[in-house]
């Protein structure tokens, strides 16, 4: 080829590349505009966003069991108002039955024995014929999964309250836990204590409930399989013996001491419903709170009981087509991520962002909660997850709100700055000894508590985790604290927590993709040279798990197998992976381009994205969450950060100047 022809071909290639790049930028700009418009259209007049937060059928199943507690039917006949809602709950459960007869805990997952036992019991209570195909198939699936004996301790505890499982074979939750010395109660995770304290009252005072006459679950039992608590080893044996002691105490112990313990537990739960929307503002605690008040003899018109039921029913999504309970609501979380994503997209100076900032600032927690047991001298601050949950502000939400307030500026500048200052100080005070950050507490890591008989909900503790630590580091560093000692300790924690394959575990999102992108962003924001190799390894891992369609996907089964388990690509996890690559300094690799293309190709004309995957985590291996807005604000964030990096507007990374191959 002549020199002239070669030069002409080269020029043509350059023009084509420029045209492709221009087209891509125009496509991203259009996607950002449509996405932002769609999000602003969903903003409430007060300034917040709140998407649906849904889970599996266990919530509707527990609802039917709660109705049995509150409205003991005459024979097997429910009163008309109760009957109507029970029928709707039963239909909602049946709609999600798997072809094999079971019920799962996450989209695309296998049948779970505990979820299926709950569904079977609820449907049978609702009047579904056990010989009809739905229950017959569910019964077969339960028996194939190990029978009723294989269900977790909370299923058995709930059934035992109605005589449907032997009380002697379920763990005891004594109300005396509120009186144990050394603040032992506060060594349990915040959600565990808010569940266990009302449950302890229910066990102690709710022994008069029974299932309808003739109602049993005997058909779910496997023959020749013990109903007793599972055999234990090591320290678990000690707790097993303690459980026996508790059972003897329940029958023969001092009624005076037991009465004092119940009163202490009653005061504890009542105190923690002030300045909040239900105990712990989460479904199981709110359910047990209602049951506890009823067991204590509160009349049905008592203000505390009326308010408890009102808060509980506020979690219900009820339309002509749908009947679903949410485990809680997520307005502060959704608002903070929306505002941050919109700010990254260049929409900081619009009225909607001011309203968002004012609303967030109004929700700052200014009272001491359970966290202050270990940090008594720290000024209260932080944000909760829900509209009101002042005993339990959480570190993750607080870090995310601080990121949002970088872009969304409140109408009162002095109040804005003061809230930010208090929140930063609160975050610094809530760092754990190992350098990481947990969700609600500090140094909540007594591993011995995982050995108690009722610890199989897999969330007895609230240990530090890479995902929250990464978000806190980014939040602090983007406020000029990259040189702070707390940041150095946080970086050291993340470097030590990195998996051999280069990923990080994600406690609150599924799973290694979530943990990795947040750890990478935190490390990159720190600017510390020690972080570079870790980020490079993580980027290599992200590249290695990209799906053939250009997206990324991960199954909730990753938690069960302690390793990454691939799944079909979805937009939220693809967005996380793109954000991770961007944190690694990737500006234009083939991996990044294909990820961006995946997002652009799947955006709907109205600016939203479709997604069916379960990508949120409640209790690993036990309870998962579907955030209704993840599918919309994370793609916006990914595309916005890509454009910011391309335009050199992104925060400087330790990897700036290094490009991925």
Q: What positions carry a catalytic annotation?
A: 396
Q: How far apart are CA 55 and CA 570, in angstroms?
A: 18
Q: How far apart are CA 254 and CA 505, in angstroms?
A: 47
Q: Which residues of 63-101 are buried (b: 16+ CB within 10 A; e: fewer)?
A: bbbbbbbeeebeeeebeeeebebbebbbebbbeebbeeb
Please measure the distance between the N-terminal and C-terminal CA atoms of the chain and give it in whole angstroms.
30
Query: Which residues in 170-318 belong to E strands, given as ranges?
Result: 316-318
Cβ pair 506, 497 in contact under 8 A: no
Measured N-to-C along each axis, helices 590-602 and 571-583 cross at an angle, to the nearest 10 degrees, of 150
Tokens at 105, concatenated: 């805990």
Cβ neighbors of 589 (< 8 A, separation 6 or more) are 543, 581, 659, 660, 661
Q: How far apart are CA 429 and CA 432, in angstroms?
A: 8
Three-class SS of residue 441? Answer: coil
Cβ pair 357, 342 in contact under 8 A: no
Cβ pair 631, 609 in contact under 8 A: yes
Q: How far apart are CA 168 and CA 240, in angstroms?
A: 12
* Cβ count near 562 (within 10 Å): 10
Q: Where are the alpha helices (DSSP H) in 206-282?
A: 235-252, 255-271
Q: For the sheet containing 623-627, what is the strand order? A: 53-54, 623-627, 616-619
Q: How far apart are CA 427 and CA 424, in angstroms?
A: 5
* Cβ count near 621 (within 10 Å): 17
């Amino acid at each position: 080829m002549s020199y002239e022809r070669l030069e002409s071909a080269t020029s043509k290639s350059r023009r084509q590349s420029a045209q492709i790049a221009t087209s891509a930028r125009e496509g991203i700009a259009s996607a950002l505009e449509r996405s932002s418009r769609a999000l602003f259209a969903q903003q409430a007049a007060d300034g917040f966003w709140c998407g649906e937060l849904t889970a599996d059928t266990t919530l509707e199943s527990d609802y039917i069991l709660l109705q049995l507690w509150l409205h003991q039917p005459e024979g097997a006949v429910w009163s008309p108002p109760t009957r109507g809602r029970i029928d709707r709950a039963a239909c909602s459960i049946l709609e999600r039955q798997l072809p094999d007869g079971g019920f799962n805990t996450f989209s695309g997952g296998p049948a779970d024995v505990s979820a299926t036992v709950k569904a079977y019991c609820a449907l049978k209570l609702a009047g579904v014929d056990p010989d009809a195909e739905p229950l017959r198939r569910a019964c077969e699936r339960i028996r194939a999964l190990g029978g009723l004996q294989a269900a977790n301790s909370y299923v058995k505890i709930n059934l035992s309250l109605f005589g449907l499982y032997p009380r002697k074979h379920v763990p005891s939750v004594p109300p005396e836990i509120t009186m144990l010395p050394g603040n032992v109660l506060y060594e349990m995770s915040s959600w565990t204590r808010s569940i266990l304290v009302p449950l302890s009252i229910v066990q102690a005072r709710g022994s008069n409930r029974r299932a309808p006459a003739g109602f049993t679950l005997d058909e779910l039992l496997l023959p020749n399989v013990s109903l007793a608590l599972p055999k234990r080893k090591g320290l678990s044996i000690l707790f097993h013996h303690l459980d026996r002691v508790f059972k003897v105490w329940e029958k023969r112990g001092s009624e005076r001491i037991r009465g004092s313990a119940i009163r202490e537990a009653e005061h504890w739960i009542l105190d923690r419903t002030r300045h909040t929307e239900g105990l712990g503002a989460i479904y199981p605690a709110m359910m047990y709170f209602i049951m506890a008040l009823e067991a204590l003899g509160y009349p049905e018109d008592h203000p505390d009981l009326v308010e408890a039921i009102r808060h509980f029913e506020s979690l219900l999504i009820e339309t002509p087509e749908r009947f679903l309970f949410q485990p809680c609501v997520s307005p502060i979380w959704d608002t903070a991520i929306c505002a941050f994503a919109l700010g990254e997209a260049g929409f900081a100076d619009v009225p909607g962002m001011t309203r968002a900032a004012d609303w967030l600032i109004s929700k700052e927690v200014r009272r001491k909660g359970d966290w202050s047991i270990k940090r008594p001298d720290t000024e209260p601050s932080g944000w909760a997850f829900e509209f009101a949950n002042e005993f339990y502000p959480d570190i993750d939400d607080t870090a995310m709100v601080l990121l949002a307030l970088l872009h969304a500026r409140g109408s009162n500048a002095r109040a804005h700055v003061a809230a930010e200052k208090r929140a930063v100080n609160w975050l610094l005070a809530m760092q754990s000894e190992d350098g990481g950050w947990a969700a609600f507490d500090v140094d909540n890591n007594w591993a011995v508590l995982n050995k108690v008989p009722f610890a199989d909900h897999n969330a007895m503790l609230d240990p530090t985790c890479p995902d929250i630590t990464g978000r806190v580091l980014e939040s602090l560093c983007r406020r000029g604290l990259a040189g702070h000692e707390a940041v150095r300790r946080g970086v050291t924690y993340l470097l030590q927590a990195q998996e051999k394959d280069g990923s990080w575990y994600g406690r609150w999102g599924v799973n290694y993709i979530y943990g990795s992108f947040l750890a990478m962003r935190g490390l990159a924001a720190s600017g510390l040279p020690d972080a570079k190799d870790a980020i490079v390894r993580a980027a290599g891992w992200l590249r290695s798990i990209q799906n053939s369609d250009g997206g990324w996907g991960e199954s909730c089964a990753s938690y069960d197998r302690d390793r990454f388990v691939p799944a079909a690509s979805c937009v939220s996890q693809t967005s996380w992976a793109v954000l991770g690559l961007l944190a690694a300094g990737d500006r234009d690799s083939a991996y990044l381009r294909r990820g961006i293309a995946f997002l652009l190709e799947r955006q709907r004309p109205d600016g939203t994205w479709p997604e069916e995957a379960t990508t949120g985590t409640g209790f690993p291996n036990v309870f998962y969450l579907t955030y209704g807005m993840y599918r919309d604000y994370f793609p916006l964030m990914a595309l916005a950060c890509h454009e910011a990096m391309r335009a050199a507007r992104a925060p400087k990374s330790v990897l700036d100047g290094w490009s991925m191959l």
